[in-house]
Amino acid sequence: MNLVRRNNNWFPSLLDELFTENRLDTPNYENFSIPAVNIQEKNTNFVVQLAVPGLSKENFNIEVEDDILKISAEVTSENEENTTEDETKFTRKEFNFKSFKRSFTLPENINVENVNASYENGVLEITLPKKEEEKVLKRMVEIS
């Protein structure tokens, strides 16, 4: 079973394979396995969310080093190439559970000691609390 492709061009060419309308139609879809990310800034923290369905929290590695947040996932491919127990073979497989690495430069006002993460419903959420700003003491000076 293959995808149905429209061919409206007068000149079918090799460029048709390079400039597809849908990224899922590309021959090397596995190159697009970097998960989508949302970054929110709130008053007290930043929240980084990655869309990574189908993984377990044991697959993730999150570290902060030299003001760089590094997120990676290692996925073993033991069942990826093999058939299942009932000898089912895939004619097309678009669920992509590959390993990935993402890095983000953090602003200076992040409290790296209190970073925490959670994984729920296919979304990895990392909370990066901001440091409390030092309050400037205001003092009245009396003129003598």
pLDDT-above-70 percentage for the chain = 67
- Is the residue at 18 inside a domain? no
pLDDT digit string (tens) for 12-36? 555 555 555 444 444 444 445 688 9
Domain with residue 65: its CATH number is 2.60.40.790
Tell me, yes or no, whether 27 lies in a domain. no
Which stretches of 10-144 are assigned E, i.e. beta strand?
37-41, 45-51, 60-65, 68-73, 100-105, 116-120, 123-129
Number of H helices, E strands in the chain: 1, 7
DSSP state string for 97-128: ---EEEEEEPPTTB-GGG-EEEEETTEEEEEE
Identify the pLDDT of residue 11: 54
Q: State the residue range of the domain holding 57.
A: 34-77+95-132
Q: What is the pLDDT of residue 46?
A: 95
Mean pLDDT for the stretch of residues 99-111: 91
140 part of a folded domain: no
